[in-house]
A and B are shown apart, each in its own frame.
Chain A
Amino acid sequence: MDRRSFLRTCAVGSAAAAVTASGLLTIASLQGEAARRGGGGPVPRPYSLRAREGTIRTVDGRTLYAQGFADDAGSMRIPGPVLWAREGEWVVITLHNEAPQEHGIAIDGVVATSPVPPGGEAVAAFLAPRAGTYVYHDPARGPLNRALGMYGALVVMPAMEPDRPWAGGPTFDRQYLQVVSELDERWNIAAGSGTSVDTGSYRPNYFFLNGRGFPDCQVDPDVHIQGNVGETILIRWANAGLVPHSMHTHGYHFRIVQRDGRPDVRFLEKDNVPVYPGRTMDVLVTFDQPGSYPIHDHILMANTGNGVYPNGIMGMFEVV
């Protein structure tokens, strides 16, 4: 079978992923997807992504040139669409380059395409890695494309257990995905005007949780987390940026259960932890008191939007 007919087969075998419009992965959506697909043999899970140019609107109302991934239905988003798969499934990502420069897609340690010229397409096919959270990004043009917004997250669930971070791991009631990132406006402005970017100097000045600074990010239910006392939730922190972010939770400690798709059975209980560029960390939080509590980066420059506090990486627990 050639690649084209293989991909057509995939498109018949499965459809859109069970991700709500907000990007929130819910157990209900996963169960619905599982029920819809029924049993049967391994069916490749197809994703179609488009590399596009566009703009990002900052928390202080500026519009900056950016690049990002879009799905077939939508315009460019930062971060790109959430990809998810079950452990052991084949995942097939077709990347259409609809931008005027080279693009690609990679998941470090899993798969990488060659740079795709404008108008071209590439296919990244891989066996879903171990359950966990992964950053996907565009490796073309060094760190530049990625810094301009070409990134997102892949979530791999256990094959059978939608309420655990890995097969046999601890259970959670709900899960949330928080992609942290940032941009250096000098890179966006230079790239947008077609001048060269000095990638040796990176001085980020806007900082994002799922693509927005505080309080704009609060409209995202993955950022403004609402729950009830007694519940345990899983937060997946994925750092798609180029610098570390040191995540701090108020109100509750968390337990680190997974890093980069590897269970961490030390179950370190902390209230503050760095997530390094390209890396991920999955943590469990048990709501043992009601209230409103921030989740924020303690590298405090990243709590600003272009220097203004608290317009950076800050989300909120709202627990009743």
Chain B
Amino acid sequence: MADRTYLLWLRKSASVRMHDGVEIGIWPFTDSKGQAALFPGPLLASNEGQTVEVTFKNNMNEHTFHFHGIDADTPNDGVPETWPVMDTYNFLTDRAGTYWYHCHANTVLHQQMGMYGPYVVLPADGSNRAWTGGPAFAKQYVWMLSEFDAAWRLNNPKPNFAYFNPGYFLINGRDGFDPIAAADTAISCNAGDAVLLRLIHAGYLIAQVSLGGLPFSVIASDGRPLLVPEAPQLVEIAAGERYDLLVTPTVPGTYAARVDYLDWYTRAVRGSARTAITVL
């Protein structure tokens, strides 16, 4: 019996409304009761040293879970090219930090359809620290970054997945200025609070994240602490990467945070998502 068990269902007919009212088709996971569809998928979490079992309840032999960064063994790695598709995954979470899960079958499409969610490993005692003996935090937020290409949902013309032309640029599934009003995305804290912001790039373009001028430290990446924290003005994050930012605002106010998504070839900004950090 695993220390943590999770059950996930998939909804293959769902959509999410963009800032301009357009509904974009997605295949979201549900909460662990199989009820509410969630995009991104539910936050899964465990402590260092815990064993975890995740079961895909309505898989129909089509999909997998890859726990990105967990370094599970081959049977539990979720790669159809190396192991037959399964419904139940078992693994150990031995290093605190930020991870994510996504379907690894026809990944180019299934990830674009929203089959992903965040995974957080806490210290062994479950405390609010980035890792055992690491920096403490008062609050934590996860920002999953991604983009939507509406044309990839069409049957006619059939999309060529080499060509990605996104029109929507998201944080936690919302685009444009909408993340400013999202309680799970817009950061609210008291001056002096340490906030841990976990960035996960579940999209395909290079993204640049800035926090409205608030200073921050990059303390970890891909589930491992940095030997020496860094304090850049912005974080450039590529598909699949994670960065853990520690922000301790001291001056009350509202700060305009943004994520700019860059063209693959020209690096021109293709689109942006905005949110806010409110310091009381």
Contacts and interface: CB of A to CB of B under 8 A. Distances in A.
B160 A272 contact: no
Interface string B79-90: 101110000000
Interface string A236-272: 0000001110101011110000000000001111111
Contacts, number: 132
A303 interface: yes
B107 A250 contact: no
B279 to A, nearest CB: 30
Contacts of A266: 226-228
Contacts of B81: 294, 310, 314
Nearest to A252: B71
A180 B152 CA distance: 25
Interface string A273-308: 110000000000000010111100111110111111
Interface of A: 202-207, 242-244, 246, 248, 250-253, 266-274, 289, 291-294, 297-301, 303-310, 314, 316
B260 interface: no
Q: Which 3 A-B pairs have the closest CB atoms?
A: A298-B240, A291-B74, A274-B238
Given A243-B264, A269-B224, A293 B82 contact: yes
Given A253-B222, A266-B228, A291-B77, A203 B68 contact: no
Contact of A246 (B69, B228, B239, B242): B239
Given A246-B240, A250-B77, A251-B77, A271 B68 contact: yes
B94 to A, nearest CB: 11
B190 to A, nearest CB: 32
Interface string B81-114: 1110000000000000000000000111101100
B142 to A, nearest CB: 17
Contact of B106 (A207, A244, A309): A309
B265 A202 contact: yes
Nearest to A182: B162
Nearest to B262: A244
Contacts of B74: 251, 291-293
Nearest to A302: B162
Contacts of A270: 221-222, 224, 241
B16 to A, nearest CB: 20
Contacts of B265: 202-203, 242-243
Specify which of A202, A267, A298 lies most central, judged by the most chain B CB atoms within 10 Å of its CB: A298
Given A268-B224, A272-B222, A300-B111, 20 more contacts: A203-B163, A206-B162, A207-B162, A244-B206, A248-B68, A251-B74, A268-B226, A269-B224, A270-B241, A272-B69, A291-B82, A292-B82, A293-B79, A294-B79, A298-B238, A301-B204, A307-B159, A307-B160, A309-B106, A316-B82
In this complex, the member of A207, A303, A310 whose beta carbon has the largest number of chain B beta carbons within 10 angstroms is A310
Contacts of A242: 265
Interface of B: 66, 68-69, 71, 73-74, 77, 79, 81-83, 106-109, 111-112, 159-164, 204-206, 221-224, 226-228, 238-242, 264-265
A289 B164 CA distance: 36
Contacts of A300: 107-108, 111-112, 161, 204, 239
A301 B240 contact: no
Nearest to B158: A307
Contacts of B77: 250-251, 291, 293
Contacts of A207: 162
Given A202-B265, A310-B107, A301 B69 contact: no
Nearest to A199: B265
Nearest to A270: B222
A222 to B, nearest CB: 19
B160 A246 contact: no
Contact of B164 (A272, A301, A308, A314): A301
Given A243-B265, A274-B238, A309-B108, A299 B162 contact: no
Contact of A307 (B79, B163, B223): B163
B241 A246 contact: yes
A271 B204 contact: no
B226 to A, nearest CB: 7
A270 to B, nearest CB: 4
16 contacts: A206-B162, A244-B238, A244-B264, A246-B239, A250-B66, A251-B74, A271-B222, A272-B239, A273-B238, A274-B241, A292-B82, A301-B108, A301-B162, A304-B108, A307-B161, A309-B106
B63 to A, nearest CB: 14
A254 to B, nearest CB: 10
* Interface-central residue, B71, B109, B112, B205, by most chain A CB under 10 Å: B71
A144 B81 CA distance: 35
B161 A309 contact: yes
A253 B225 CA distance: 13
Contacts of A298: 238-240
B241 A269 contact: no
